[in-house]
A and B are shown apart, each in its own frame.
Chain A
Amino acid sequence: NAGVTQTPKFQVLKTGQSMTLQCAQDMNHEYMSWYRQDPGMGLRLIHYSVGAGITDQGEVPNGYNVSRSTTEDFPLRLLSAAPSQTSVYFCASSYSVRLNTEAFFGQGTRLTVV
Protein backbone atom coordinates (compact mmCIF):
# COMPACT_ATOMS: atom_id res chain seq x y z
CA ASN A 1 0.00 0.00 0.00
CA ALA A 2 1.87 3.09 -1.28
CA GLY A 3 -0.23 5.75 0.51
CA VAL A 4 0.73 9.25 -0.67
CA THR A 5 3.54 9.44 -3.20
CA GLN A 6 5.30 12.70 -4.00
CA THR A 7 7.86 13.29 -6.69
CA PRO A 8 10.51 14.53 -6.95
CA LYS A 9 12.08 14.39 -3.49
CA PHE A 10 14.60 17.11 -4.30
CA GLN A 11 14.66 19.83 -6.96
CA VAL A 12 16.76 22.87 -7.79
CA LEU A 13 15.23 25.47 -10.09
CA LYS A 14 16.45 28.69 -11.57
CA THR A 15 14.40 31.83 -11.04
CA GLY A 16 11.69 32.02 -13.66
CA GLN A 17 11.55 28.31 -14.44
CA SER A 18 8.31 26.41 -14.08
CA MET A 19 7.77 22.90 -12.79
CA THR A 20 5.13 20.53 -11.49
CA LEU A 21 5.30 18.68 -8.22
CA GLN A 22 3.45 15.40 -8.48
CA CYS A 23 1.23 13.90 -5.80
CA ALA A 24 -0.70 10.65 -6.02
CA GLN A 25 -2.66 8.68 -3.45
CA ASP A 26 -4.07 5.17 -3.75
CA MET A 27 -6.46 5.27 -0.78
CA ASN A 28 -9.48 6.70 -2.65
CA HIS A 29 -9.41 9.79 -0.44
CA GLU A 30 -11.72 12.68 -1.20
CA TYR A 31 -9.61 15.44 0.30
CA MET A 32 -6.14 16.39 -0.92
CA SER A 33 -4.01 19.38 -0.09
CA TRP A 34 -0.63 21.00 -0.56
CA TYR A 35 1.40 22.66 2.19
CA ARG A 36 4.71 24.41 2.33
CA GLN A 37 6.86 24.33 5.44
CA ASP A 38 9.35 27.04 6.26
CA PRO A 39 11.42 27.47 9.44
CA GLY A 40 9.39 29.16 12.15
CA MET A 41 6.26 29.26 9.97
CA GLY A 42 4.89 25.76 10.36
CA LEU A 43 2.87 24.16 7.58
CA ARG A 44 0.93 26.67 5.52
CA LEU A 45 -1.87 25.58 3.23
CA ILE A 46 -1.34 26.45 -0.45
CA HIS A 47 -4.32 24.82 -2.21
CA TYR A 48 -6.76 22.07 -1.43
CA SER A 49 -9.38 19.91 -3.14
CA VAL A 50 -12.52 18.29 -1.75
CA GLY A 51 -12.95 16.02 -4.77
CA ALA A 52 -12.20 15.55 -8.44
CA GLY A 53 -12.83 18.75 -10.38
CA ILE A 54 -12.96 20.94 -7.26
CA THR A 55 -10.07 23.03 -5.97
CA ASP A 56 -9.78 26.05 -3.70
CA GLN A 57 -7.15 28.38 -2.36
CA GLY A 58 -5.50 28.11 0.98
CA GLU A 59 -3.47 30.61 2.96
CA VAL A 60 -0.60 31.15 0.48
CA PRO A 61 -1.82 30.38 -3.07
CA ASN A 62 0.02 33.06 -5.07
CA GLY A 63 2.47 31.66 -7.61
CA TYR A 64 0.94 28.19 -7.57
CA ASN A 65 -1.73 26.40 -9.58
CA VAL A 66 -3.43 23.08 -8.98
CA SER A 67 -5.88 20.81 -10.74
CA ARG A 68 -7.74 17.66 -9.70
CA SER A 69 -8.79 15.76 -12.80
CA THR A 70 -8.86 12.42 -10.99
CA THR A 71 -9.40 11.34 -7.39
CA GLU A 72 -5.86 9.98 -7.23
CA ASP A 73 -3.74 12.87 -8.52
CA PHE A 74 -3.26 16.42 -7.30
CA PRO A 75 -0.28 18.11 -9.02
CA LEU A 76 1.07 21.47 -7.89
CA ARG A 77 2.45 23.77 -10.57
CA LEU A 78 4.92 26.56 -9.95
CA LEU A 79 4.33 29.04 -12.74
CA SER A 80 7.53 31.12 -12.55
CA ALA A 81 9.78 30.07 -9.68
CA ALA A 82 11.06 32.70 -7.27
CA PRO A 83 13.62 32.39 -4.45
CA SER A 84 10.76 32.98 -1.98
CA GLN A 85 9.35 29.62 -3.06
CA THR A 86 12.36 27.78 -1.67
CA SER A 87 10.71 25.49 0.85
CA VAL A 88 9.71 21.95 1.72
CA TYR A 89 6.42 20.99 0.09
CA PHE A 90 4.09 18.34 1.47
CA CYS A 91 1.07 16.80 -0.16
CA ALA A 92 -1.58 15.28 2.10
CA SER A 93 -4.81 13.36 1.72
CA SER A 94 -7.73 12.52 4.01
CA TYR A 95 -10.64 10.15 3.64
CA SER A 96 -13.29 12.69 4.57
CA VAL A 97 -13.79 16.29 3.57
CA ARG A 98 -15.11 16.81 7.09
CA LEU A 99 -11.46 16.59 8.15
CA ASN A 100 -12.24 14.47 11.16
CA THR A 101 -10.05 11.65 9.95
CA GLU A 102 -6.31 11.17 9.75
CA ALA A 103 -4.35 13.10 7.13
CA PHE A 104 -1.64 11.11 5.40
CA PHE A 105 1.40 12.96 4.09
CA GLY A 106 3.84 12.31 1.32
CA GLN A 107 7.55 12.33 2.12
CA GLY A 108 7.96 15.90 0.92
CA THR A 109 9.75 17.73 -1.86
CA ARG A 110 12.71 19.93 -0.96
CA LEU A 111 12.76 22.73 -3.50
CA THR A 112 15.52 25.29 -3.88
CA VAL A 113 15.11 28.24 -6.24
CA VAL A 114 18.35 30.02 -7.12
Chain B
Amino acid sequence: RKEVEQDPGPFNVPEGATVAFNCTYSNSASQSFFWYRQDCRKEPKLLMSVYSSGNEDGRFTAQLNRASQYISLLIRDSKLSDSATYLCVNGGATNKLIFGTGTLLAVQP
Protein backbone atom coordinates (compact mmCIF):
# COMPACT_ATOMS: atom_id res chain seq x y z
CA ARG B 1 0.00 0.00 0.00
CA LYS B 2 1.34 3.44 -0.89
CA GLU B 3 1.96 5.81 2.01
CA VAL B 4 -0.18 8.49 0.40
CA GLU B 5 -2.95 7.67 -2.05
CA GLN B 6 -4.99 9.94 -4.27
CA ASP B 7 -7.50 9.48 -7.05
CA PRO B 8 -5.54 10.55 -10.16
CA GLY B 9 -8.65 11.90 -11.90
CA PRO B 10 -9.02 13.75 -14.16
CA PHE B 11 -11.79 15.72 -12.57
CA ASN B 12 -13.51 17.68 -15.34
CA VAL B 13 -15.77 20.36 -13.87
CA PRO B 14 -17.48 23.48 -15.24
CA GLU B 15 -16.54 26.94 -14.07
CA GLY B 16 -18.30 27.81 -10.86
CA ALA B 17 -18.57 24.22 -9.67
CA THR B 18 -17.50 22.92 -6.28
CA VAL B 19 -15.06 20.04 -6.35
CA ALA B 20 -13.54 17.94 -3.59
CA PHE B 21 -10.47 15.75 -3.48
CA ASN B 22 -9.62 13.18 -0.86
CA CYS B 23 -6.31 11.67 0.07
CA THR B 24 -5.55 8.79 2.42
CA TYR B 25 -2.32 8.20 4.30
CA SER B 26 -1.01 5.08 5.97
CA ASN B 27 1.42 6.40 8.60
CA SER B 28 -0.60 7.25 11.68
CA ALA B 29 2.44 9.03 13.15
CA SER B 30 2.47 11.62 10.36
CA GLN B 31 2.80 15.08 11.84
CA SER B 32 2.15 17.50 9.03
CA PHE B 33 -0.09 17.65 6.02
CA PHE B 34 -0.19 19.88 2.98
CA TRP B 35 -1.79 20.40 -0.38
CA TYR B 36 0.56 21.46 -3.17
CA ARG B 37 -0.40 22.62 -6.62
CA GLN B 38 1.58 21.75 -9.72
CA ASP B 39 0.98 23.37 -13.07
CA CYS B 40 1.93 21.52 -16.23
CA ARG B 41 5.73 21.23 -16.58
CA LYS B 42 6.31 23.41 -13.52
CA GLU B 43 7.53 22.79 -10.01
CA PRO B 44 5.10 22.07 -7.15
CA LYS B 45 4.12 25.02 -4.98
CA LEU B 46 2.44 25.08 -1.60
CA LEU B 47 -1.30 25.70 -1.80
CA MET B 48 -2.08 25.33 1.88
CA SER B 49 -1.18 23.51 5.06
CA VAL B 50 -3.80 21.29 6.65
CA TYR B 51 -4.53 21.76 10.34
CA SER B 52 -6.33 19.41 12.68
CA SER B 53 -9.20 21.84 13.16
CA GLY B 54 -9.58 22.39 9.43
CA ASN B 55 -8.68 25.62 7.68
CA GLU B 56 -9.90 27.85 4.92
CA ASP B 57 -8.14 30.16 2.50
CA GLY B 58 -10.56 32.00 0.28
CA ARG B 59 -12.29 29.45 -1.96
CA PHE B 60 -10.17 26.59 -0.62
CA THR B 61 -10.95 24.51 2.46
CA ALA B 62 -8.74 21.75 3.82
CA GLN B 63 -9.68 19.21 6.45
CA LEU B 64 -7.89 16.45 8.32
CA ASN B 65 -9.52 13.33 9.73
CA ARG B 66 -6.95 11.55 11.87
CA ALA B 67 -9.29 8.75 12.90
CA SER B 68 -9.84 7.70 9.28
CA GLN B 69 -6.43 8.89 8.13
CA TYR B 70 -7.50 11.10 5.28
CA ILE B 71 -7.28 14.73 4.28
CA SER B 72 -9.51 16.60 1.90
CA LEU B 73 -9.44 19.70 -0.25
CA LEU B 74 -12.61 21.53 -1.26
CA ILE B 75 -12.55 24.13 -4.01
CA ARG B 76 -15.61 26.35 -4.33
CA ASP B 77 -16.57 28.47 -7.34
CA SER B 78 -13.93 26.84 -9.57
CA LYS B 79 -12.00 29.11 -11.93
CA LEU B 80 -10.26 28.23 -15.17
CA SER B 81 -7.02 29.14 -13.42
CA ASP B 82 -7.60 26.37 -10.87
CA SER B 83 -6.78 23.79 -13.56
CA ALA B 84 -3.70 21.98 -12.30
CA THR B 85 -2.57 18.86 -10.50
CA TYR B 86 -3.16 18.86 -6.75
CA LEU B 87 -0.66 16.93 -4.66
CA CYS B 88 -1.41 15.58 -1.21
CA VAL B 89 1.67 15.59 1.02
CA ASN B 90 2.52 14.39 4.48
CA GLY B 91 5.66 14.45 6.48
CA GLY B 92 7.39 14.77 9.80
CA ALA B 93 7.08 11.21 11.05
CA THR B 94 10.21 9.87 9.35
CA ASN B 95 12.12 12.94 8.17
CA LYS B 96 10.60 12.34 4.77
CA LEU B 97 8.11 14.46 2.90
CA ILE B 98 5.88 11.98 1.07
CA PHE B 99 3.85 12.99 -1.98
CA GLY B 100 0.77 11.43 -3.45
CA THR B 101 0.64 10.90 -7.20
CA GLY B 102 -1.63 13.91 -7.61
CA THR B 103 -5.17 14.59 -8.79
CA LEU B 104 -5.64 16.35 -12.11
CA LEU B 105 -8.31 19.04 -12.19
CA ALA B 106 -9.55 20.50 -15.47
CA VAL B 107 -12.01 23.37 -15.16
CA GLN B 108 -14.03 23.82 -18.34
CA PRO B 109 -15.44 27.16 -19.58
B-binding residues in A (CB < 8 A):
31, 33, 35, 40-45, 48, 50, 56, 58, 90, 92, 94, 97-100, 102-103, 105-108
Contacts and interface: CB of A to CB of B under 8 A. Distances in A.
Contacts of B96: 45, 48, 58, 99
Interface residues of B, number: 23
Given A42-B87, A45-B97, A94-B97, A103 B46 contact: yes
A102 B97 CA distance: 11
28 contacts: A31-B95, A33-B97, A41-B101, A42-B100, A43-B44, A43-B87, A43-B99, A45-B96, A45-B97, A50-B95, A56-B95, A90-B43, A90-B44, A97-B95, A98-B32, A98-B92, A99-B32, A99-B92, A100-B91, A102-B34, A102-B46, A103-B44, A103-B89, A103-B97, A105-B44, A106-B43, A107-B42, A107-B43
